[in-house]
Chains A and B, each alone.
Chain A
Amino acid sequence: MQLFSALALIKEGLSGQRGWQAQWRSPEPKSSYDAVIIGGGGHGLGTAYYLASEHRLTRVAVLEKGWIGGGNTGRNTTIIRSNYLFDESAALYDHALKLWEDLARSLNYNVMFSPRGVMMLAHSVHDEQIIKRHVHANRCNGVDNEWLTPQEAKVFCPALNIEPNIRYPVLGAALQRRGGTARHDAVAWGYARAADSLGVDIIENCEVKGINRGADGSVESLQTNRGLIRTPKIGVCAAGNTSVIMNKVGVRLPLESFPLQALVSEPLKPILPCVVMSNGIHAYVSQSDKGELVIGAGTDAYTSYTQRGALHVNTHTLEAICELFPAFRRLQMLRNWGGIVDVTPDRSPIIAKTGIPGLYVNCGWGTGGFKATPGSAHVFAWTIAKDEPHPINAPFTIERFRDGHLIDEAAAAAVAH
């Protein structure tokens, strides 16, 4: 692997930028692997990277039916935070956040992690109570989070409207200073390059058509549009298409796939120094380094695989943002798009073994999977390599829906998040 450094930049700058190599290979699929990951998004590529780097499994392939990072990894609003209510979630998301903090160095790839702070607004007494409860629960779990008065929130984010005469006035905010954003494409590319350098085959345009099982029921091989691939271990990281893969082996999961929309504005000068979220009135906004406002809208009401959605969902979030930031009212929106998110009944993910030996699944991240990418990949690689869950993902089983041990972040946040 050609390492990136200031010296390399200067050298290439002086020699006409002709020395850069391709960052990963495009190999033909081999006939067999020790493990195969289905899905070349951040979670799948990261899983392959940690399988190779931490568990010495180097005969690994990542199969991606489109192009890597072209699904939800390339479609999300890049918000990173770990201020979840329950102990299990706090452990999982803070594991991820700690990996984010050193990710650029460990991958030798600038993922532009920017811990600029994530501010969650309260607009009612109920919001205030639940958000303060989150703050206290987070601090008990060693996750930073603090309560700000409206005036303190305005100091941190001067564009915010804290006038008391609006429909949903800002009564305060929780601020996680370690939270922020990262460059989503760079996360996929950084993991792809690092995994490839350790021998992982990243195979694009390779769609899984079926999974074959042996006499004992364990997985044996994969049928793909690029031929048969034998492997004893399959990790499914297919996000919104997880049900499609799992239906091939007759496993019904507690998942529904919904379109989740996002949009960006025309670029403007720096105005928003942090991420601002409001679960109550459904606004999620930050400013990219290019200057565009990156805005997360909600999910559409119905299951769909169309990667688009209806305009009224975007209108709803823009109404909230225009009230919180009156200065944004004259902005034009440049692009909107949708991604397909797989949602569980408790809005917590499943990172677990399945009932089928050799088949592992990492799904159900719903509307908030990007922030967990490194942590999710790290514990999923452990689960695949050792055939048992890491202590952090041990509670995130499929069986929790049978046994009643839900990790009910849906109720905790009162919205999809």
Chain B
Amino acid sequence: MLLIACPYCGERPELEFVYGGEAHIARPAAEADLTAGQWAAFLYARTNDRGVHAERWRHTHGCGRFFNALRDTTTDQFIAIYKAGEARPPAVAAPEKP
């Protein structure tokens, strides 16, 4: 089970969280002008990275707030955790566990 450091509550077990999928997918402006293909890209297409992945989590059974994280999908180690609305931090190697 992952240990996830909620930026508001600190480190908690994964069971308290709900995964929110890929982060930084902005709902397009000027919706009325979008083609079906643009809608499909927004709704369904995903990067699905092997490596550093920016993703959303929600601390459902805690503060209830959304935040973002960078996680390496080849090791499941978190690299960075940041608040919703903040820019994606530069990807650096995951910190060594003590």
Contacts and interface: CB of A to CB of B under 8 A. Distances in A.
- A associates with B: yes
Interface residues of A, number: 25
Contacts of A243: 46-50
Interface string A290-328: 000000000001111110001110000000000000000
Interface in A62-93: none
B14 A253 contact: no
B73 A306 contact: yes
Nearest to A241: B50
A311 B1 contact: yes
A415 B84 CA distance: 29
Contacts of A342: 48
Interface string A106-145: 0000000000000000000000000000000000000000
Nearest to A404: B36
Nearest to A311: B1
Contact of B14 (A244, A257, A301): A301
B19 A301 contact: yes
Interface string B9-39: 0000011011101100000000000001101
Interface in A256-280: 256-257
Interface string A40-63: 000000000000000000000000
A63 B23 CA distance: 33
B41 A252 contact: yes
B36 A305 contact: no
A5 to B, nearest CB: 44
B48 A303 contact: yes
B47 A247 contact: yes
The 9 A-B residue pairs with the shortest CB-CB distance in the complex, in nearest-first order: A254-B44, A243-B48, A252-B45, A402-B40, A301-B19, A310-B1, A401-B44, A302-B19, A401-B40
